[in-house]
């Protein structure tokens, strides 16, 4: 998934596996998920499905059917702002596997127009029993970059829950999932960073209570070409990267996968439509807008930011 992970556990019961054993278990769980869901590993179940031109049911590991099903639900809830069939566009815009010897450059209007008919969550189907996924047209491809880390955090949490570990903080490439509390606090206090690519300053602090928090933004994965900045959040409706959107969006949810997916969706929807949808669905989110030299914060009413923060 192109990132690092960490898990903090303040204290281990004597009956629990050792820290080394836990590290090994979590690493192999993540390797297995990455080996199934990665767009960057040609032999992953995901890449095999992407290469397949068949429109019949395609049997896949249960995790892939599950994450696709969860993704399709969120696509419907966000009216297609979140859409894992965005893969052909992600590749065209240079944010997927590509020749890294050449700088990325924006595709032509006609290439975008050719790719757009392949994008659309209603062209993708999932079933759990037996686990399989299906595409309506041969060219449909999936990219799980916007939900995979949150989904993997849920899997790590389920593993720790199964071992009876009641306090932990999982960090998978910046997507966090917590249970219980840290050593020094009744929750897990975490910092949300300022959405700038060249500094690492904390914008505000949030207390996580048995929740996940995911952040998407335009400031980590982007490139400049022809005087314009292109970020990796693609609007599936236009086929183009989001322009003039929020600098970042953080979403709190019990599910890591849901938080991850909605953070991406809200980047695409923007502050006004995003806050309206978050309100309607009862999702706590924080939208951060870039202004000249500063940021403005637009939290939904349920977003529990600390009053001592700015």
Angle among Cα 270, 281, 152 to the nearest 5 degrees reads 80
Examine residue 45 and tell whether it contacts ligand AMP (CB under 6 A). Answer: no
3-state secondary structure of 211: coil
- Asked if 186 and 173 touch (Cβ cutoff 8 Å), the reply is no
- With the CA atoms of 257, 259, 265 and 267 taken in that order, what torsion angle do they form, in degrees rounded to the nearest 10? -130
Structure tokens at 226: 């022809």
Closest CA to 107 of 120, 117, 94, 123: 94
Nearer to ligand AMP, 194 or 233 (CB): 233
Taking CB under 6 A as the rule, which mask of x and - marks residues 191-220 in contact with ligand AMP?
-------------------------x----
Q: Which does residue 143 bind out of Mg ion, ligand AMP, none, counting CB within 5 to 8 angstroms by kind?
A: ligand AMP
Report d(CA 257, CA 216) in Å as an integer: 13
Nearer to ligand AMP, 185 or 238 (CB): 238
Structure tokens at 33: 């998920």
Q: Which does residue 266 bind out of ligand AMP, Mg ion, none, counting CB within 5 to 8 angstroms by kind?
A: none
Q: Which of residues 244-303 bind ligand AMP (CB under 6 A)?
A: 260, 263-264, 268
Q: Which does residue 179 bind out of ligand AMP, Mg ion, none, counting CB within 5 to 8 angstroms by kind?
A: none
Q: In the bound complex, which residue of the shown chain has the CB atom lying closest to ligand AMP?
A: 145
Q: In the bound complex, which residue of the shown chain has the CB atom lying closest to Mg ion?
A: 264
- Closest separation between CB of residue 5 and Mg ion, Å? 16
Report d(CA 91, CA 33) in Å as an integer: 22
Binding site for Mg ion (CB under 5 A): 146, 216, 260, 263-264
Q: Which helix (H) or strand (E) holds 48?
A: helix 45-51
- Given the rule CB under 6 A, which residues bind ligand AMP? 82-84, 86, 90, 95, 143, 145-146, 216, 221, 232-234, 236, 260, 263-264, 268
């Amino acid at each position: 998934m192109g990132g690092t992970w960490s898990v903090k556990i303040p204290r281990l019961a004597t009956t629990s596996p050792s820290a080394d054993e836990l590290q090994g278990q979590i690493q192999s769980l993540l390797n297995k998920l990455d080996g199934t869901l990665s767009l960057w590993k040609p032999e992953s179940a995901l890449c095999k499905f992407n290469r397949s031109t068949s429109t019949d049911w395609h049997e896949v590991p249960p995790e892939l059917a599950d994450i696709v099903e969860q993704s399709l639900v969120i696509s419907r809830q966000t009216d297609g702002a979140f859409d894992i069939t965005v893969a052909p566009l992600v590749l065209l815009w240079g944010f997927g596997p590509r020749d890294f010897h050449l700088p990325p450059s924006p595709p032509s209007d006609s290439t975008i127009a050719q790719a757009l008919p392949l994008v659309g969550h209603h062209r993708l189907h999932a079933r759990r029993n037996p686990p399989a996924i299906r595409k309506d047209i041969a060219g449909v491809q999936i990219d799980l970059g916007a939900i995979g880390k949150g989904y993997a955090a849920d899997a790590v949490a389920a593993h720790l829950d199964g071992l009876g570990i009641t306090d932990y903080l999982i960090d998978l490439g910046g997507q966090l999932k917590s249970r219980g509390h840290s050593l020094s606090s009744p929750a897990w206090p975490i910092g949300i960073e300022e959405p700038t690519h060249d500094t690492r300053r904390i914008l505000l602090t949030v207390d996580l209570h048995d929740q996940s928090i995911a952040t998407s933004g335009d400031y980590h994965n982007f490139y400049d070409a022809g005087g314009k900045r292109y970020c990796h959040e693609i609007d599936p409706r236009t086929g183009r990267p989001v322009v003039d959107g929020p600098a970042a969006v953080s979403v709190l949810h019990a599910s890591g996968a849901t938080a991850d997916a909605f953070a991406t969706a809200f980047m695409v929807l923007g502050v006004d439509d995003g806050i309206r949808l978050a309100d309607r669905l009862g999702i706590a989110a924080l939208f951060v807008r870039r202004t000249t030299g500063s940021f403005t914060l637009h939290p939904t009413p349920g977003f529990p930011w600390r009053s001592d923060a700015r």
